[in-house]
Structure 1
Amino acid sequence: MSESPTPPAARVVVGVGDAPGCVAVLGRAADEARLRGAELWPVAAWEPPEGEFAARRFPAASALVPEWERLAEERLVEALRDAFGDTGTGLPGRALVVRGAPGPALVRTADREGDLLVIGAGGRGPLRRALWPSVGRHCLAHAVCPVLAVPPSPLEAALTTAHRRNTLRLRLDTGDLERESRNPR
């Protein structure tokens, strides 16, 4: 009598970046992992500062690869600490640092049909959409598993507006923050 192999554990793969909404995305991914009885796999993707093409073009840059990877690992640990404190998630799983553009790296990691890929659906204006590729769009188009896009919180949107006004040296009315957080766009 032969035993059938144990199916791999269900996983919730979550993209970890340096955006302010990362904590909310990690929290939602942990909640989904608990609901599903799944492992939590936070993933921080990184690329050389000028991209892969520049790294191949300048071989001396390869000496910096360990440092860039260490910085990505620090960013991942800091994001996990911000989201869950020093106690951790309390969930089984594995944190990964993956070299590559975020969208393709997340899709490569969440490569099982039973996985759930959780990403942030940050606000993107027309200029950002035109100049930078969207991680979310890439994941939605190429993932073999379900993708959960977590929208930014109203508070995050209000803080982004305040930061933009501050950067442009426009007058900041704190009443605007209250109205923005109560009535998100």
Structure 2
Amino acid sequence: MSGARTRGRVVVGVDGSPGSRQALDWAVRETRLRGTVLHVVVAWQHPQSYAGNIWSLGLDPSFDVEVAGAAAGEAARLTREAVAEVTVTTTSAAVEGHPTRVLLDEVSPEDLLVVGSRGHGGFVGALIGSVSQHLVAHATCPVVVVPTRP
């Protein structure tokens, strides 16, 4: 082994859940060890109603801009909090779409993808969430699933 370091980014998916915050903390530490860039990703989706797509309820299309802005603000806020006391180069993105698809599209083979074991939604008490399971099965890069600590 040559000892050369990889230059891929550490990409972390966050949704504001305790598990994703722990994944973000882990990703910050790993980014420092690797001497690379931390890329924080928040995926957002249009809300759904029992009747289907929420647009069937007649909401103003400017709602899109508000949701995207809120997601981008959340990504920036979480990133600032996580790296407040360390020196790490960061980027962040708020992308419309299902978290699995967004994260798969955001990574390249040389990256390291980090996610929490459980996010918002799904079945409480499951050991690993459906997004984490899908990413482990389909990502083209290594995936770290950080267990949620109580």
Normalising by structure 1, report the TM-score. 0.64
Return the match for 1:119 from 97, 100, 115: 115
User: Residue by residue, what CA displacement relative to the aligned partner does 1:120-172 show, whole Å, maximum 9, x if unpaired?
Assistant: 01389x94589xx711012112110000000011xx2xxxxxxxxxxxxxxxx
- The answer to whether the 8 A contact 2:43-2:95 is kept is yes
Tell me the SS of whatever aligns to 2:89. coil
Structure with bigger strand share is: 2
Instruction: Show CA shifts across 1:48-70 (max 9, x none).
Output: 1118x726767855321100001
- Number of equivalent positions: 140
Q: Residue in 2 aligned with 1:16? A: 14
Q: Secondary structure at the match of 2:91?
A: coil
Partner of 1:49: 47
What amino acid does structure 1 have at the position aligned with 2:18?
Answer: P
Residue identity matched to 1:93: T
Judge conservation of contact 1:55–1:61 (CA < 8 Å) in 2: no
Distance 1:47 1:145 in 2: 24
Map of 1:28 onto structure 2: 26
- Cα RMSD of the aligned pairs, angstroms, is 2.9
CA 1:67–1:145 in structure 2 vs 1: closer, same or farther (change >3 Å)? same
Quick one: percent identity of the two aligned structures?
33
Unaligned runs of 5+ in 2: 1-5
Q: Which runs of 5+ in 1 are unaligned?
A: 1-7, 157-185
Instruction: Report the equivalent of 2:3.
Output: none
Q: Does 1:147 align with 2:146?
A: no
The answer to whether residue 106 in structure 2 is matched with residue 109 in structure 1 is yes
Task: Work out the CA distance in 1 between the residues paired with 2:59 and 2:44.
Answer: 18
Written as runs of structure 1 = structure 2, the 5 A alignment for 1:143-182 is 143-153=139-149, 156=150
Cα separation, 2, equivalents of 1:18 and 1:24: 10
Q: Which has the larger radius of gyration?
A: 1
Which residue in the other structure is 1:63 paired with? Answer: 62
Do the aligned partners of 2:40 and 2:92 also contact (CA within 8 Å) in 1?
A: yes
Cα deviations by residue, 1:90-146 (Å, 9 ceiling, x for unpaired): 222311111111111111101x1110000001389x94589xx71101211211000
Is the contact made by 2:20 and 2:119 (CA closer than 8 Å) also made in structure 1? no
Contact between 1:13 and 1:40, CA under 8 Å: does it hold in 2? yes
Structure ranking higher in helix proportion: 1
RCO comparison, higher one (Cα < 8 Å, 6+): 2
| AA of the residue aligned to 1:100 | G
